[in-house]
Amino acid sequence: MERVAETLTILQPEDKEACDLPRVSEEELAIGKKRLYIESYGCQMNFSDSEIVAAVMRNAGFATTGTAEEADLIFLNTCAIRDNAEQKVRNRLKQLNVLKKQKPALLVGMLGCMAERLKAKLLEEEKIVDIVAGPDAYRDIPKLVEEAESGQKAVNVFLSREETYADISPIRLNSNGVTAYISIMRGCDNMCSFCVVPFTRGRERSRDAYSIVSEARDLYENGYREVTLLGQNVDSYKWSHADDTEHVNFAGLLERVALVHPDLRVRFSTSHPKDITDEVLYTMAKYDNICKYIHLPAQSGNSRILKLMNRTYDRAWYIQKIDRIRAILGEDCGISHDMIAGFCTETEEEHQDTLSLMAYARYDYGYMFAYSERPGTLAAKKYADDIPHEVKNRRLNEIIALQRNMSLERNQRHIGKVQKVLVEGTSKRSDEQLCGRNDQNKMVVFPKGNLRKGQYVSVLVTECTAATLIGEVVD
């Protein structure tokens, strides 16, 4: 899938940053230690994985640095969901090759989904790469580094059916000290025909509930006030105690995390339309600190295309899920989506079905793509990528235009209303403004005053754009 830059204009600025720009490790005060530099590309799962890698390497005697020039070891944590993401990493390797010529002892490693997809082939194609490690091999990285230091190329792309890294306390990178991500499960069993994730992240497995709750509690005690539970499909989370006396589904886990403290906000991503249940929705309604926002990817509004995508639901099923969200959580519940334009054999009428579904769902914002064939996926093997590039882009632009209008309309609903906002930091546009999110995951900007990060404030919304709410703090 290939994201077009214009889609980002309707997203919050940090969503754009998360989608298109790499996140890098921070400078850590340390003397006499080797330096690790990590660049993370792609989804929040990758950023969460980089925090695990940083923790593993700290135990191996490394300290992080915020600049590649200071590093003894550089890791690129990669994304394989679209070709653009892989090309960006290859271009970055060319830049790092200049640095490696200046520092021959410098080691460069590739982590994540691109590493898993290409495996040892990466070492042949990119001579600069010394280490290749897939998403389930991060415990083994210190050994791989030792092997590379001896002059050998080192590879571990073994996919595990058990690994969840539940016992590793992540080092929070690029943290604002207020919001954090907790990985609750790994892998995916859904096998959507367009998606490479099941092949790069392996089968689905869930962390034990106690370790998740413990991590949430530790974060709260260390000043964090919001956690996002992460998984490729959080609604299929399931964990059972070894003695079979306890079984926890996602609704149960959500409740346990919400009970850590009323001042700890809880979010989650991503939900799959086939698995999200009324039990989850009622749990959200029960607890004020579970945010009323759901990311519910549709991918298409046409049942035939959904079947080709192997999404395992049809248009009517998806609409019924939207109806249940509105019935249980109300009209103001935030809903966002993923949508693909120009999937294989998509007709103009089927594209219109996507637009009509969007209009029915009244999404707050979305992530929109033109279909891009990924090698090794079921769609690449079974279907011709037969929609012309210009048709894909025209359809995508129509989806973007509709979403931009809906985003503005949905934000206008908040004008004149008071929003509870968690202060996340200074606005990027002005040091005199602070910013934070409301319950529906919308960015709110307001005057700084004497407020500080981590506080909850009440903001009266006075105006808005398609991406941002603007207001004044009230008592």
| Residue 310: partners with Cβ closer than 8 Å, 6 or more residues away | 190, 191, 192, 193, 378
More confident residue, 173 or 390: 390
**Predicted confidence band of residue 228 (pLDDT cuts 50, 70, 90):** very high
User: In DSSP terms, which residues pair with 154 in a beta bridge?
Assistant: 131
* pLDDT for the residue 169: 87
96 and 194 inside one domain: no
**Predicted confidence band of residue 10 (pLDDT cuts 50, 70, 90):** very low
Q: What is the pLDDT of residues 15-47, one digit of tens each?
A: 433 345 677 766 666 667 899 999 999 888 889
464 belongs to an annotated ligand binding site:
no
281 and 256 inside one domain: yes
406 and 428 inside one domain: no
192 belongs to an annotated ligand binding site:
yes
* pLDDT for the residue 28: 66
* pLDDT for the residue 11: 35
Q: What is the mean pLDDT of residues 277-290?
A: 98
Q: What is the pLDDT of residues 193-226, one digit of tens each?
A: 999 999 999 999 999 999 999 999 999 999 999 9
- Say if 52 falls within a structural domain: yes
Reply yes or no on whether the pLDDT at 252 is more than 60.
Answer: yes
Q: Which of 43-57, 162-176, 203-217, 225-239 has the lowest mean pLDDT?
A: 162-176
CATH number at residue 130: 3.40.50.12160
Percentage of the chain beyond pLDDT 90 is 83
199 and 118 inside one domain: no
- Say if 163 falls within a structural domain: no
188 belongs to an annotated ligand binding site:
yes
Cα(75)–Cα(3) distance, rounded to whole angstroms?
Answer: 24
- Say if 1 falls within a structural domain: no
Q: Could you list the residue range(s) of the whole structural domain that residue 43 is in? A: 18-156
334 and 387 inside one domain: yes
CA distances 277 to 283, 287, 321, Å, are 10, 16, 9
348: which 2 tokens?
């103009």
199 and 270 inside one domain: yes
Residue in the block written with tokens 């915020």: 66
Provide the CB-side half-sphere exposure for 31 (13 A, CA).
0
- Say if 167 falls within a structural domain: no
Reply yes or no on whether the pLDDT at 4 is more than 60.
Answer: no
* pLDDT for the residue 20: 52
Q: What is the mean pLDDT of residues 313-341?
A: 98
- Say if 162 falls within a structural domain: no
323 and 391 inside one domain: yes
Cα(309)–Cα(280) distance, rounded to whole angstroms?
Answer: 25
- Whether the CB-CB separation of 442 and 412 falls below 8 Å is answered with no
Domain boundary among 141, 156, 171: 156
344 belongs to an annotated ligand binding site:
no
User: In DSSP terms, which residues pair with 370 in a beta bridge?
Assistant: 2, 341
Domain boundary among 412, 427, 457: 412
CA distances 158 to 23, 139, 146, 290, 468, Å, are 25, 12, 18, 36, 43
- Say if 246 falls within a structural domain: yes
Domain boundary among 382, 412, 442: 412
* pLDDT for the residue 26: 65
* pLDDT for the residue 451: 95
Summary mean pLDDT of the chain: 92
47 and 118 inside one domain: yes
96 and 152 inside one domain: yes
Q: What is the pLDDT of residues 102-115, one digit of tens each?
A: 999 999 999 999 99
* pLDDT for the residue 3: 35
Q: What is the pLDDT of residues 398-426, one digit of tens each?
A: 999 999 999 999 999 999 999 999 999 99
Q: What is the mean pLDDT of residues 40-60?
A: 92
- Say if 172 falls within a structural domain: no
75 and 198 inside one domain: no
**Predicted confidence band of residue 5 (pLDDT cuts 50, 70, 90):** very low
365 and 424 inside one domain: no
Residue 269: name the closest of 206, 333, 181 by CA: 181
Residue 66: name the closest of 110, 26, 112, 23 by CA: 26
Reply yes or no on whether the pLDDT at 233 is more than 80.
Answer: yes
* pLDDT for the residue 16: 38
192 and 99 inside one domain: no
- Whether the CB-CB separation of 204 and 252 falls below 8 Å is answered with no
416: which 2 tokens?
């004149």
CATH number at residue 452: 2.40.50.140
Q: What is the pLDDT of residues 63-83, one digit of tens each?
A: 999 999 999 999 999 998 888
* pLDDT for the residue 29: 61
CATH number at residue 328: 3.80.30.20
CA distances 267 to 112, 320, 335, 436, 469, Å, are 24, 22, 13, 14, 20
- Say if 47 falls within a structural domain: yes
Q: How many domains does the chain have?
A: 3
Q: What is the pLDDT of residues 333-372, one digit of tens each?
A: 999 999 999 999 999 999 999 999 999 999 999 999 999 9
Percentage of the chain beyond pLDDT 70 is 94
